[in-house]
Amino acid sequence: MTRKTIVTNMAVIGCDICGRTLLRGENADVFLHGGSRRTVCELCTTRAMHEGWIREGVDDTMGGRRGSERGSARSLLGRLRSRRSERGYDEDPVEAAPVYDPASYDPDHYAPDQGFVDEVYVEPAPAVHHEPAPPAPEPAPVAGAVGPVAPAPAGQGRPGDDAPRDRGISAVPSNAERKVVRALEVFNLGVHTRTVAGVARSLGAPVVAARPSATEGSVVTIVVAWELSWYRYEVDLGDEASGVRVADQGTELSELADADRVATARADEGGFLHPLGELA
């Protein structure tokens, strides 16, 4: 008896539009954009076409049609030329352009249709050289006048001139519930809402567990989970400008801790997250 090896692991394919990993049984379309091949899931094909991406295979078909149209035009032009030669028609004669002879030019009998233009020599104007003006004399010192003020050294100017300006750093709420509410607001401003909405159309409403990190005071962890897929996001409230980061993802709910499977928020049809109430 010959032994057979059954391989259950499938290749991980990600959508280049929404960034999510395709589920088992999902088909991906290949688009061309920027000279490279892009993988697009079934939920994002309409958006890819709106962005100007070309589905693979369509460009070759259009090119073949254009080539056949050019061939038809050339064959039609060839047939017309052959018919003219059979009937004895010659090509239309082309009149030679008149040749301008300077010796035959007469200003008194100039005709506009001849197109002759008399060349007129204009003597260039002589170059004028301007001598630089002498520098103005320095004013005599006045008794009691104050001399030039030297620039103040660094750190001694106006208050706030040399103070560091922190950009993207915001105050972190001290209350756990306010941290979660602010983290959900930051999440709704990012692009990951499209991923949540796209997967929810196939697998239904997810379980959303949002809670502050036990090790980092400014970080809030958001877990969005379905039966066949889950994502773990992290939001740093101390650096909101960095956005939302995908910390981990998987395909089985058993991979999550019990606390990550208790819903503390909900997702609407657009993929936006909203708190359920106070954390337990």
DSSP structure string for 156-205: SSSTTSSS----S--PPPSSHHHHHHHHHHHHHTSSHHHHHHHHHHHH-S
Split at pLDDT 50, 70, 90, the class of 267 is very high
Report how far residue 179's alpha carbon sits from residue 265's, in angstroms, rounded to the nearest whole number.
Answer: 13
Report how far residue 103's alpha carbon sits from residue 265's, in angstroms, rounded to the nearest whole number.
Answer: 97
pLDDT over threshold 50, residue 162: no
Specify the DSSP class assigned to residue 50: H
User: Do 229 and 251 contact (CB within 8 A), yes or no?
Assistant: yes
For residue 280, the model assigns a pLDDT of: 44
The count of C-alpha atoms lying within 13 angstroms of the C-alpha of 126, restricted to the half-sphere facing its C-beta, is 3
Split at pLDDT 50, 70, 90, the class of 166 is very low
For residue 27, the model assigns a pLDDT of: 83
Q: Which position has the higher pLDDT, 263 or 165?
A: 263
Q: Which position has the higher pLDDT, 265 or 126?
A: 265
Closest among 193, 214, 217, 211 to 267, alpha carbons compared:
193
Percent share of the chain, pLDDT over 90: 26
The strand pairing partners of 59, in sequence order, are none
User: Do 266 and 276 contact (CB within 8 A), yes or no?
Assistant: yes
Taking only the tens place, the pLDDT of each residue in 90-133 is 555 445 555 555 565 555 555 555 554 455 555 666 676 667 77
pLDDT over threshold 60, residue 183: yes
Closest among 45, 50, 55, 2 to 22, alpha carbons compared:
45
For residue 88, the model assigns a pLDDT of: 58
* Residue where the block lists tokens 């709420």: 173
174-187 CB burial, b ≥16 within 10 A, e <16: eeeeebbbbbbebb
Q: What DSSP string runs through 70-128?
A: HHHHHHHHHHHHHHHHHTTPPPPP-PPPPPP-GGG--GGG--GGG--------PPPPP-
For residue 165, the model assigns a pLDDT of: 43
pLDDT over threshold 90, residue 193: yes
The pTM (predicted TM-score) of the whole model is 0.42
pLDDT over threshold 90, residue 208: yes
Taking only the tens place, the pLDDT of each residue in 196-207 is 999 999 999 999
How do the domains of the chain map onto residue ranges?
12-84, 176-275
Tokens of 246: 């995908």
Highest mean pLDDT among 15-29, 55-69, 87-101: 15-29
pLDDT over threshold 80, residue 264: yes
pLDDT over threshold 70, residue 238: yes
Pairing of strands 207-212, 219-225: antiparallel
